[in-house]
Structure formats: structure tokens, C-alpha cells
Amino acid sequence: MIRSATLPIQASLPSFTENSRLRLLSGSANTPLAQEVARYLGMDLGPMVRKRFADGELYIQIQESIRGCDVYLLQPTCRPVNDHLMELLIMIDACRRASARQITAVIPYYGYARADRKTAGRESISAKLVANLITQAGANRILAMDLHSAQIQGYFDIPLDHVYGSPTLIEYLSSKQLSDLVVVSPDVGGVARARAFAKKLGDAPLAIIDKRRQAHNVAEVMNVIGDVAGKTAVLVDDMIDTAGTITEGARLLRQQGARQVYACATHAVFSPPAIERLSSGLFEEVIVTNTIPVPDDQRFQQLTVLSVANLLGETIWRIHEDSSVSSMFR
């Protein structure tokens, strides 16, 4: 069964008037999420014309005055990454030329985030290049969720607010009242994320899967560091792409005696053959959020999609009101 949930954030949002300086616009990448955010804020999405010319070029026109306004552009740069990135850049440029007072790019999923450093000679650091493009297009601020690596925050020369999908995932897991929990990091690089997740789940014990990657999207699982026998294992990662790493991890956890295996991730990238792997029966449940839209043909019985709309809406409101964002996660 497919379920959805929202994080219940308590906020006292005033009714918006025609004179409000806050505007929310959406790209084409995840309009349903943008509509949910708009409902949380008690406003409508700004009207915009979007079309493609015969040669594939994109045309965007904002259909209302945004002069002097604080504009928030919601657009995850998910598949097709280059199209959605270019659309975001054009929206930013249109807002800048329309004399918006401040332009905030709300990027629930940041494409090219895994190209955050050079691992061999003559490679591009694409995550930094994308940051430069967004800044040069005219963005004044970034709101991003669960960046693949924390260092990407330093790639921007403009303010960046980094928020996390973990409160939504943890609230849902806590409601299930699972017993004998152990939080598992699928690799050494995700230990900090898993440790923070475990702490918020009542200081659950932590286990680590030691693996060695031999090629892109190919992972070889070696062994489990920690006790998982007879326990409910929760694999935690920032994204699920081809699901190779998390599936091999689940298989190893089963071999080590884990009673149940859950997978939790903020971003459901779901590149082939992810669906076949995730629905193979290894997982009791696969829990993701809607930072990336999950089409009907990618949904399966064990999948649960949670909404981060309230979380993003509350963050947008706090930025607009110059209030603390970090206090939301304490």
C-alpha cells in the first residue's frame, strides 16, 4: 500500500494579502510538491508561462509583477537533470530582470551533487560548476535539502540554508513503534548521517556496512560492523539511485540474522534497475520523501512516500521573516 504523510510543524502563518512581498513559483520538475508548499503557506503559486520551441529551447514568462518581491523558485534538478537545471537558470534570470528584491532557489534535490571532488585526473567538479551557474544567473540565496556532502555548502558564494528530511522519516518510523532497532549506515561515508538518525530514534545502536566500490553504480559489500542479529535494521542514506548499495546491504543484513530490514532515504532517484531490486522481498518497507516525484510506474507494494512540503514551507516562511532555521532541527 502506498502511504503519504506530512510533518506536523506548528506555525502561526498570517493570511497573505495582495500586498505581500512573498512569491512562490514552481518549475516543471515537481509541481505537486510546490503546490503542497503553497497550501502550507496559505497562498497560490505564481502564474507563469512555460513552453518549448521546435528546436527544444525553453521559454518562460512570469505572468505577474514581482518587482520588489522576495521570490522563491522551487525546482529539484532531478531527471532529466540538464533540462531542469537549465529551466531553473532561466527562471532565476527572468526574476532578476523583473526586478525581484531577492531570489531564493529552493532545490529539494541537488543534481550533480556526487561530483563534489576529483577522484582521478582531468575530471570536473560539477557540483561546484552548478553552484557557479546558479549564482551567476542571479540567485541571492539557496535552500537545499540533504546535500550529498556537506562541503557543497561551501561551493556557493551566497547564503545557503541546508535542511534535512530526517525529521519526516523519523516521525514516521517512530509512529510504527518498532522494537530492537539498529540503524545501519550503508557505507563508511554515511556514518555521521546514520549516527544522527540513530540518536533521534532514542539513541538506537549503530552498525556500519564496509564496502568497496569498484566502478560507478557498482558496489561490493564486504562485512557488517556491529550486531544486527535478531534486530530490526534500518538502512539510512541520503538517496537511492540504482539501489545496488542498499540492496546488497540488505542482503548482507539478512545473512547476518537481521529480523527485518527497512530502507530510508530522502531522495528517490530510482534509476534502473532500482525498482526490481527494491521490490525483490529483501525489504519490509522502503521509505522515501517526495523531493523527487515518484511516478506511478515506479511505485511498488513496499514503497512509502512521505511529504516534506510542511518542512520546506516552514523553512521558506522563517527565511522570509528572518527567523532561525536551525532551531527547527533541535
Sketch out the chain's domains with CATH numbers. 22-163+310-329 (3.40.50.2020), 166-307 (3.40.50.2020)
| C-alpha cell of residue 64 | 505577474
With bands split at pLDDT 50, 70 and 90, how would you rate the model's confidence at 213?
low
Top-confidence residue, 106 or 217: 106
Give residue 1's pLDDT band: very low, low, confident or very high (50, 70, 90).
very low
Q: Which residues are catalytic?
A: 211
**In this model, does residue 188 exceed pLDDT 80?**
yes
**Backbone Cα Rg of the chain:** 20
Calculate mean pLDDT across residues 248-277.
Answer: 97
H or E, element range at 131: helix 126-137
Higher pLDDT among residues 328 and 80, named by residue: 80
What pLDDT shows up at residue 330? 75
Is it the case that residue 212 has pLDDT exceeding 70? no
pLDDT classification of 211: cutoffs 50, 70, 90: confident
pLDDT band for position 216 (50/70/90)?
Answer: low
- Residue 189 is predicted with a pLDDT of 87
> Taking 60 as the threshold, does the pLDDT of residue 220 lie above it?
yes
Closest to 228 (Cα-Cα) out of 209, 201, 203 = 209
Average pLDDT, the chain: 92
Per-residue pLDDT band for 222 (boundaries 50, 70, 90) equals confident
pLDDT digits (tens, 9 = 90+) for 64-123: 999 999 999 999 999 999 999 999 999 999 999 999 999 999 999 999 999 999 999 999
Q: Residue 226 burial (CB < 10 Å; 0-12/13-18/19+)?
A: middle
| Residue 327 Cα distances to 163, 184, 310, 314, 320, angstroms | 11, 26, 15, 12, 15
Mean pLDDT computed over 259-283 = 97
- In the block, residue with C-alpha cell 494579502: 17
Percentage of the chain beyond pLDDT 90 is 87
All three cell numbers of 104: 531564493
Q: Mean pLDDT over residues 15-31, rounded?
A: 82
More confident residue, 88 or 210: 88
Tell me the average pLDDT across 168-185.
96
148/4: higher pLDDT: 148
The grid coordinates listed for 238 are 541520503
Task: Give Cα 193 distance to the centre of its chain.
Answer: 14
pLDDT of 259 reads: 97
C-alpha to C-alpha distance for 300 and 263, rounded to whole angstroms: 14
Q: With a cut of 50, say whether residue 2 has pLDDT above it.
A: no
